[in-house]
Structure 1
Amino acid sequence: MDDLTLLRRLRDDVAEPDAARLAPAYRKLETAMRAAEKTSASRAPRRRHPVRWAAVGLTAAAAVAAAVVVGGVLAPPHPQSASAAAIVLRQAAAEAITYSDPEAGPGQYLKFHTRSDWASYQGTSDQTVTRLPSNIQNVDVYIPSDPSAEWALYRDWEHGQTGDGAFVAETIHAPEGRFYGSPWASQDLNAIPIGSGAETLAYFDAQYQGGSASRDEDDFVRITDLLRTYPVPAPVRARLFEALALIPGTTSTDGVANLDGRVGVAIGRDEPQRSGERQEIIIDPGTGQVIGERRFFPAGAVAAGEEQTVLTAMSVTVVDTAPPATTPARDENG
């Protein structure tokens, strides 16, 4: 029986453990993770398997898109306690350290594939809003073994572009992944401290400049934005998981599938000022992989007024070539 099953069987009137009561267990896990890290560094790497990720984000061209309900949601967004989320994240952190991520050799690329299901909305002169047919978006980022070299970005909409544009597919090349004038990754991975989860969280917290509904929301979004848009190496990924566990309001929902049907645990946070909207990453706690993302919008939060959920799926593989460019790189305004 796993820890989450045990937690669900606790009596409702049992008080949720606070940070002080959880601290000894965290310290034991921290010690075990460091030992696992040293052991994995000294032994031959495991047979590599494709790593599955998730990323959500509307491009400038698809800014009018919103989520649609798609197959694969095995659990509604009714999260469990913060202590359950902490257990899942600590477990995922420990597994991530021992997992062998795909690595691109000289002349090769990491192909970071994102598949998302979006819907567009169209307004009419009588101020009514209708939802257009579902439209799958594919985004492939080709990251060279030398990150200072030229990257490639391929994207398409399988049924044409959502929004007011007309193109169906394009490929952009840019040094260091600056397809739109700024780095593709939202953070400099080399600058993130990974001595402990608390140290990692402090790094992100120091970036707060207002603008979010709360400081905790800002920390959560900065960390999950990185996890869902870039193949973060295992040592950094482990500390990001630990940092998420320390953010107040972070909870978990198990039995959630990504867009491709792979099931994991959704880690999210309910922001009181967001009126029921919830953003989650889906992880496999047994491997420490990020396998998807889910966003939930309550009725009335989107244009057509109905309750909606969006899912994505992502994978990382090693390839020998990248597609040729068809479109010049742009500035930060797209």
Structure 2
Amino acid sequence: MDDLQLLREMRSDVGTPAQATLARGRNKLLGRIGAGADSGTMPDGGPRRRRVVARRVVLAAAAAAVLLGTLVAVDVVAPGGKPGATAEAAEVLNNAAAAAIKTSDPVVKPGQYLKVDTKAVYASSMTRAQGTTVSWLETQDGQVYVPADWSGEWVWNREARVPTTFFGKESKAEAQRYVASMNSGAGPQLEGVIRGKGGAFYDSPQQILGLPLLEAIKTLPREPRKLLDLIYEKTEGKGQTPESEALVTIADSLRTGVIPADLRAAMYKAAALIPGVIVADRQATLDGRKGVALGILWAEGKARQDIIVDPETGMMIGERNVSLAALDGIPANTAFGWTAVKISVVDSAP
């Protein structure tokens, strides 16, 4: 399999506010590269783009490619008789679950909003007429305001898309042309303030694992093995492998910023049962915050998906995608997509 075919099979939905707040599907990284102009909307309401994500992801000032260290390998733990994450990763995730239970969720009073602030960097690619593909990194930050009454109007402020990092002159030229075409006014609104009753941006309701958001939060299993089995069932046939897709699904859910502590803890414990999950970086920094990066290899070992957790609070700081081999102009060992999420309670929305 050549690199172009590999990229086309990666995840590539957009990593702006998904499901409850960030655009779901976060990384079908470089998938559908070379397709025509963007069209339609994502399953969670965000516009579909030819974007390589990064859930999928962070600070405009740090948009330059970040070279990462080597992976940490340790013995594998086998909870319930089934191989799971490495012992080191399982310990981090189970500790994060315990911290999540001890950390109080924000209290949003009537008239207030839960603000989910996302800093994001994405990789985008363009296949040229002669068949070559070039890639670049761009930012698009955003803020989602969730009312105390979730059935009310949610507000999503989508900031401008700005190309920031280029991999050669051709990369820069294509990025400028692409962004100009996307900002021409054709297609769905990609910037500015967007509103949706009950969070239904672009007329698409918020969902987790195919369930309406509120129903999912109330009914998803809190027992880790049952939750992971359900994730495998709901994502069967998707992604590169069942294991990588399971971790992506957990990351997609957590980065909405609205998952309550008990379900957040269950998701961490479920991630500890996923074979292949490792500690990738104990000093990962996103948006000025440090945490532990837990990752899994995918794309035939040419890329890694990370979630980055604050072990003190059990909150997910963000996520990132890392190229472990050169992919259509993106250097090896580069964070080519990442997001960082902060939540707070505010008294008003745009």
2:111 pairs with 1:107: yes
* Residue type of the alignment partner of 1:193: P
Structure-to-structure mapping, 1:1-334, within 5 angstroms: 57=26, 60=47, 62-65=49-52, 70=63, 75-76=68-69, 78-81=71-74, 82-132=86-136, 134-157=137-160, 159=162, 163=179, 164-166=181-183, 169-187=191-209, 188-194=216-222, 196-271=223-298, 274-301=300-327, 303-307=328-332, 308-309=334-335, 310-323=337-350
Whether the aligned pair in 2 keeps the contact of 1:268 and 1:279 (CA below 8 Å) is: yes
- Residues in 1 aligned to 2:52 and 2:251: alpha-carbon distance in whole angstroms: 20
Q: Higher mean Cα deviation, 180-189 or 156-165?
A: 156-165
- Residues in 2 aligned to 1:158 and 1:252: alpha-carbon distance in whole angstroms: 32
* Residue type of the alignment partner of 2:203: G
3-state SS in 1 of match to 2:269: helix
Query: For 1:246-299, what per-residue CA distance to the aligned partner results, in whole angstroms no more than 9, with x for missing partners?
Result: 11111112334343131111112124x533211111001121111121211233
* Residue type of the alignment partner of 1:304: G
* Residue type of the alignment partner of 1:189: I
* Residue type of the alignment partner of 2:142: V
3-state SS in 1 of match to 2:120: strand
- Structure 1 residues 131 and 209: alpha-carbon distance in aligned structure 2, compared to 1, 3 A threshold: closer
Whether the aligned pair in 2 keeps the contact of 1:55 and 1:114 (CA below 8 Å) is: no
Q: Higher mean Cα deviation, 64-73 or 123-132?
A: 64-73
Whether the aligned pair in 1 keeps the contact of 2:283 and 2:290 (CA below 8 Å) is: yes
- Residues in 1 aligned to 2:304 and 2:313: alpha-carbon distance in whole angstroms: 24
Q: CA deviation at 1:70?
A: 4.2
Q: CA deviation at 1:77?
A: 5.1
Query: For 1:79-135, what per-residue CA distance to the aligned partner results, in whole angstroms no more than 9, with x for missing partners?
Result: 333100000011001111011222211011101111112344445444444445x53
Q: Which has the larger radius of gyration?
A: 1
- Residues in 1 aligned to 2:138 and 2:242: alpha-carbon distance in whole angstroms: 34
Q: CA deviation at 1:202?
A: 2.8
Aligned residues: 267
Whether the aligned pair in 1 keeps the contact of 2:244 and 2:305 (CA below 8 Å) is: no
TM-score by length of 2: 0.67
* Runs of at least 5 residues in structure 1 that lack an aligned partner in the other structure: 1-52, 324-334
3-state SS in 2 of match to 1:248: coil
Query: For 1:58-89, what per-residue CA distance to the aligned partner results, in whole angstroms no more than 9, with x for missing partners?
Result: 65464234569846958525133310000001
- Structure 1 residues 291 and 207: alpha-carbon distance in aligned structure 2, compared to 1, 3 A threshold: same
Whether the aligned pair in 1 keeps the contact of 2:303 and 2:325 (CA below 8 Å) is: no
- Residues in 1 aligned to 2:341 and 2:25: alpha-carbon distance in whole angstroms: 10
Q: Higher mean Cα deviation, 259-268 or 84-93?
A: 259-268
3-state SS in 2 of match to 1:206: helix
3-state SS in 2 of match to 1:229: coil
* Runs of at least 5 residues in structure 2 that lack an aligned partner in the other structure: 1-21, 28-45, 75-85, 164-175, 210-215
- Residues in 2 aligned to 1:207 and 1:131: alpha-carbon distance in whole angstroms: 32
* Residue type of the alignment partner of 1:148: S
- Structure 1 residues 54 and 103: alpha-carbon distance in aligned structure 2, compared to 1, 3 A threshold: farther
* Residue type of the alignment partner of 1:80: A
RMSD value, Cα: 3.0
* Residue type of the alignment partner of 1:92: A
Q: CA deviation at 1:234?
A: 1.0
- Residues in 1 aligned to 2:23 and 2:318: alpha-carbon distance in whole angstroms: 4
